[in-house]
Amino acid sequence: MRHSPPSEATRSAAPAEAAPERVTPMMAQYIEIKAANPDCLLFYRMGDFYELFFRDAEIASRRLGIVLTKRGKHQGDDIPMCGVPVDRADDYLQRLIAAGHRVAVCEQTEDPAEAKKRGNKSVVKRDVVRLVTPGTITEERLLEPDRASLLIAVARRKTGEAASLYGLAAIDISTGRFTVMETPQERLGIEFSRLEPREIICPDAIHDDPELKEFWREIAVPVTPLARDGLDAASAERRLKEFFGVATLDAFGHFSRAEIAAAGAALAYVERTQLGARPPLSAPVRDSGSATMLIDAATRANLELTRTLGGERQGSLLATIDRTVTPGDARLLAEWLAGPLTDPAAIAARHDAVELLVANGALREDLRRALEKVPDVARALARLSLDRGGPRDLAALGAGLTAAREVAALLVRRGDLPAELARAARALGETDPDLPRRLTEALAEELPLNRRDGRFVREGHDATLDELRLLQVDSRKVIAQLQARYATETGCRTLRIKHNAMLGYFVEVPQAMGEEFLKEPWRATFVHRQTMSDAMRFSSVELSELEARIASAADRALKLELAIFAQLTEMVLAQAEPIKEAALALAGLDVVAALADLAAREGWSRPVIDSSVAFTIERGRHPVVEAALKRDGKPFVANDTELSPPGTEAKGGRICLITGPNMAGKSTFLRQNALIAVLAQMGSFVPAASAHIGIVDRLFSRVGAADDLARGRSTFMVEMVETAAILNQAGPRALVILDEIGRGTATFDGLSIAWAAIENLHEVNRCRSLFATHYHELTALGDRLDRVANATVRVTEWKGEVVFLHEVVPGAADRSYGIQVAKLAGLPPAVVERARAILGELEKTEREKPVASLVDDLPLFAAPVRRPVPAVADDQPDELREALAGVEPDEMTPREALEALYRLKGLA
Ligand code: ADP
Ligand code: MG
């Protein structure tokens, strides 16, 4: 395996061909272990530290900002070394993982005392117990509570000469979820942006495929290529069958070869990183990806669905609508938002559930109060299955399952539930009522993080444990009791039990009494140890036993607690499946209740979703902008949208062309409609008085002149590549949002491109579209194209200042008010005055030859596109036509399309 990025990884970390005679035994061991894990940073356990050596040390010290030191020499050179304390290793791991590194954790697998027995020079046995990689972590402190942690494996199968289908398998080891799906190459980006994996693995061949090189580079997720061995469908199938203990995979559904290969690779990788620990994976199920609205990465970013353009959760649509009461459930909300559904019935099922809880506020409140007590059950269960759990994970399960029964009771009491809620109630009812009781009975109130810290078993739970603890804490009291007893029995009131390093515990009596002890009957009880000047010292069987018990009490108490922990864990894991189902049901309920709370408090309404291509919104609002304005005490102006086809559906949806000055609210209006579609189809109510939406199967949103310096493209190039993608891909069910496309170039260029794009949308794509522009010349198209409707955002002028009304009305803007806006922004008065004068001149010229009149001069765009290519004489080889015939528009990425266009142009 290799690893990229960061490609600097650690392959060259330890020179393997070290001269053996000059290497200390420990270094030899290090080099051997490192050689077996060349693609990971090696955390090598030494006492209370994990040490890193050689290049690993250099990388870690740089990444973590810790001091680089030296330890001994290797082949004459100093060995660079740095270390992190074991008890703070998580923080360091997190930072290394976040930077895309993988870490092999190497522990001491025997007591150093054992090693000593083999001779002074012998090295403590060590072994890698775990590989920590970005996509396979389970620790609470390393995971983001409100985000899934997916590892995705990719495989592919050829479906024709040049066509392939990709199998994706996603495992969330922190919850055990395992899904597979198949997708064509052009949708890989969409799926990855929906699933947001933490780590991707794929065979070398896919990783190094020149066609995908750029794709992997842009994806900003660590991609690990794997050597081919064991990645074929046959061995993948064997591995899956073995892991799930089934004779055939048919039990799980019908999977394609690429899906099976991907699933097997994902499983193999998980097994490899967990080194023997068995993760609680559910059987693979097909991801509903194909039944979700397609939203590419640029659109997601642009609409700020789960993150703002700055990368923050705060300020995104997700953060604005998230009213879930536990972070684990926010994961599910994020998932719903990332993949709005496209099946009207499935959407209606979610709406039914939300509706019931909107209408029934008391039930909703009760549910939410009960759900608040639910910890992250899924992740706790996963840690326990991997033997990485702590007492708090057991407690989490107890609390979760107790709450689950409470929630189930609330639902059952209400009765007559919509399907989604009934299903949840059933799943919750299937957990064992005894389990949470037994956990509560066994566990103390205050729990340590690690089971090794002990003291997590409740007092009174186990008599032996109680006694051991008594010995531990109260050894003095027990000794005092024995001393009192001996004193009474022997009648020697000055008898004392004392302790020293040489004798351990002993009985001390005055000389005279000591003499008695040497005789019968006392010599049967007391064994003489030492005679002092005025006292004698004795041991007794009872005392030595007590001593041994005290000495080992702590040890035994811990062992016993660990055994109880193991029992409890086993009891929990025996019910892993129903618990997992219950956790999912709880999360689903929290999401539905949260959406209902949102709808009830913010006055949202249930949208009508069907298979038409309607798009009619009354009094729609932008939830994020509205929330921001509300904080400043300002109202949001609601607006209507009408994109439904004006006549028969076959002609296509409407294009709404919005003009208006800067700051009027064009972008807000555009986005609010996209967000309403996403919300509606994810199963939420929508911020509108009413909404009728025919299923949107694909959503596009682009802004002109967006900066994308990171990818090294000029802003205009980006804008055009993205616009090309839309014009090439948007079908009749798409919803397209184009915001000031054409802004990134000279006026006439930009105007012409925007113009042609609108014509294409109208004649070719025929989809529902919103197009904002500051070129009011374009409004002339409204008269020529029957499904283009002009709208403008109203402004008025008051004492020379522009006042924004944020009200979208039919018609066109009379002018841009650019100078007024510039004045508002504080441009120096002289500059504003000068600009007014120049504008006056320009407008005079415009009046003499208005661009608007061009509309009447130009033929319609669609005609040339569809006109048959004129025949060419047969005997003439036509290079251009051949090249054209070789072009497969459906197979191309937008970038390739553009490149092809340039190539063709070059031939012409
Ligand atoms: P444009 O794209 O026309 O330049 P924006 O959509 O960016 O304008 O809106 C500018 C600002 O106007 C927003 O940040 C918001 O504060 C305010 N605004 C926009 N739409 C509304 C509305 N419907 N109601 C109230 N304020 C709005
Ligand atoms: Mg704008």
Compute, in angstroms, the gap from residue 664 CA to the centroid of ligand 1: 5
* pLDDT at site 849: 60
Q: Which residue has the higher pLDDT, 602 or 723?
A: 602
**Number of neighbours of residue 857 by Cβ within 10 angstroms:** 6
Beta strands (DSSP E) in 412-490 are none
Could you read off the pLDDT of 270-324 as tens digits, one per residue? 988 888 788 888 889 888 656 899 998 889 988 999 998 888 899 999 999 999 9
**Confidence band (pLDDT; 50, 70, 90) for 675?**
very high
Q: What is the mean pLDDT of residues 658-685?
A: 94
**Cα-based distances in Å from 623 to 322, 588, 626, 656:** 12, 22, 5, 21
Q: What is the pLDDT of residue 714?
A: 60
Tokens of 574: 């025996």
**Residues in contact with 868: Cβ distance below 8 Å, sequence separation at least 6, in sequence order:** none
Residue nearest to atom 19 of ligand 1 (CA): 665
Judge whether 261 and 231 are in contact, CB under 8 Å. Answer: yes
Q: What is the pLDDT of residues 824-867, one digit of tens each?
A: 777 888 787 887 888 787 777 766 665 555 555 555 443 344 33
**What residues contact 610, with CB distance under 8 A and at least 6 apart?**
344, 692, 694, 695
Q: How many whole angstroms from 739 Cα to the centroid of ligand 2?
A: 7
Pocket test for ligand 1, best of 302, 308, 309, 625 (most atoms within 8 A of CB): 625
| Cα 643 to ligand 2 centroid, rounded to whole Å | 20
Q: Residue 13: what pLDDT? A: 44
Token output for 639: 């607006």
Cβ burial, residue 43 (10 Å; 0-12/13-18/19+): buried
Residue type, 794: R
Nearest residue (CA) to ligand 1, atom 26: 636
Q: DSSP letter at 765?
A: I
d(CA 604, ligand 1 centre) in Å: 20
pTM above 0.85, yes or no: no
pLDDT at 12 over 60: no
Contact 658, 770 (CB under 8 A): yes
Instruction: Report whether pLDDT(685) > 70.
Output: yes
- What are the pLDDT digits (tens) for 543-599? 888 888 777 787 888 899 999 999 999 999 999 989 999 999 999 999 999 999 999
- Token pair recorded at residue 635: 């109202």
The pLDDT score that the predictor gives to residue 768 is 97
Give the residues surrounding ligand 1 with Cβ less than 6 Å away: 625, 629, 636-637, 660, 662-668, 806
For residue 561, what pLDDT is reported?
93
Segment among 138-147, 375-384, 759-768, 862-871 with least mean pLDDT: 862-871
Kindly state the DSSP code that residue 779 receives in the 8-state scheme. Answer: G
How confident is the model over 103-112, as pLDDT tens digits?
999 998 888 7
Which listed ligand is nearest to 658 at the C-alpha? Answer: 1
- Residue owning the nearest CA to atom 10 of ligand 1: 663
Instruction: Among the bound ligands, name the one nearest to the CA of residue 665.
Output: 1
Instruction: Verify cis geometry, omega within 30 degrees of 0, for the bond prior to 521.
Output: yes
Q: Of 903 and 580, which is predicted with more confidence? A: 580
Highest mean pLDDT among 357-361, 517-521, 649-653, 778-782: 357-361
Would you give the DSSP letter of residue 764? I
Q: Tell me, what's the pLDDT at 699?
A: 96
For the segment 236-268, what is each residue's pLDDT rounded down to a tens digit? 999 999 999 888 888 788 888 899 999 999 999
What is the 156 CA–ligand 1 centroid distance (Å)? Answer: 46
Give pLDDT tens digits for 706-739.
544 445 556 777 777 788 888 888 999 999 999 9
Pocket test of ligand 1: the residue of 621, 672, 806 to mutate, having most ligand atoms within 8 Å of its CB, is 806
Q: pLDDT tens across 65-80, in order? A: 888 998 888 888 889 9
